[in-house]
């Protein structure tokens, strides 16, 4: 049976006029990795499953806490103490049983990144610390896989798309002092704005459309409802110099 024969056309009937049948088939044949299943990742993975991405690799080593529930919409109060990756896989399969969901209930690190992300078509950064983000950045630069970045702090958010070999990498814009402090302040609707930008960018890439944030940093100030689009410039960083693909 072909991918076309297995497509639930009614499920995707409102988006097929946008992506056309070829784009929908491309989504069904693609693999996306969502690294981090907190506020950003729970929304991103939900949108990608709903859109019909064929295979989702989801990565998070944490369990649900009460403080998560103002923004992490995949989880419920009764889930407190349970592993996010396992719960997320169950909820995503419930939304769209046609999607193959591969959960990894462990934090991403340099020892496991290659095994976990092997064969993916796009990587979505839904993390909350720069040290872990730069592990994804290094993998993306070595393999040529596009990387979509997003981050939120209070009423502010940012997002960009890294296309290895064409745009600045994340290391080019990383803060000089890296931190693992996690999320200190996050408002649900602001997280939703950035997650939606990341999910949309992933769907566009996987369906064959051009990414909109490649080479640009989108900065959202939700306090004043102000959006800036900042053109990024390459710097001679160690990650860019380590590219091993042609």
Q: Is 183 a catalytic residue?
A: yes
Q: How many CB atoms lie within 10 A of CB 38?
A: 25
Q: How far is CA 53 from CA 32, 41, 44, 191, in A?
A: 7, 15, 12, 22
Active-site entry in 169, 172, 183, 240: 183
Which residues are the active-site residues?
A: 183
């Amino acid at each position: 049976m072909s991918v076309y024969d297995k497509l639930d056309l009614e499920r995707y009937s409102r988006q097929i006029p946008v992506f056309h049948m070829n784009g929908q088939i491309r989504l069904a044949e693609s693999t996306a990795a969502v690294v981090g299943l907190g506020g950003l990742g729970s929304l991103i993975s939900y949108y990608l499953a709903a859109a019909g991405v064929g295979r989702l690799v989801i990565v998070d080593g944490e369990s649900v806490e009460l403080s998560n529930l103002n923004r992490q919409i995949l989880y419920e109060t009764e889930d407190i103490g349970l592993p996010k990756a396992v719960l997320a896989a169950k909820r995503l399969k419930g939304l769209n049983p046609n999607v193959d969901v591969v959960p990894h209930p462990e934090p991403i690190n340099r020892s496991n990144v290659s095994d976990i992300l092997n064969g993916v078509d796009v990587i979505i950064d839904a993390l909350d610390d720069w040290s872990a983000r730069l592990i994804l950045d290094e993998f993306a630069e070595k393999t040529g896989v596009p990387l979509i970045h997003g981050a939120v702090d209070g009423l502010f958010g940012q997002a960009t798309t890294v296309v290895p070999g064409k745009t600045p990498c994340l290391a080019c814009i990383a803060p000089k002092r890296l931190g693992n402090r996690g999320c200190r302040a996050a408002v649900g609707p602001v997280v939703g704005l950035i997650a939606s930008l990341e999910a949309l960018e992933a769907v566009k890439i996987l369906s064959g459309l051009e990414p909109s944030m490649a080479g640009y940093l989108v900065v959202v100030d939700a306090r004043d409802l102000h959006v800036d689009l900042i053109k990024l410039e390459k710097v001679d960083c160690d990650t860019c110099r380590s590219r091993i693909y042609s």
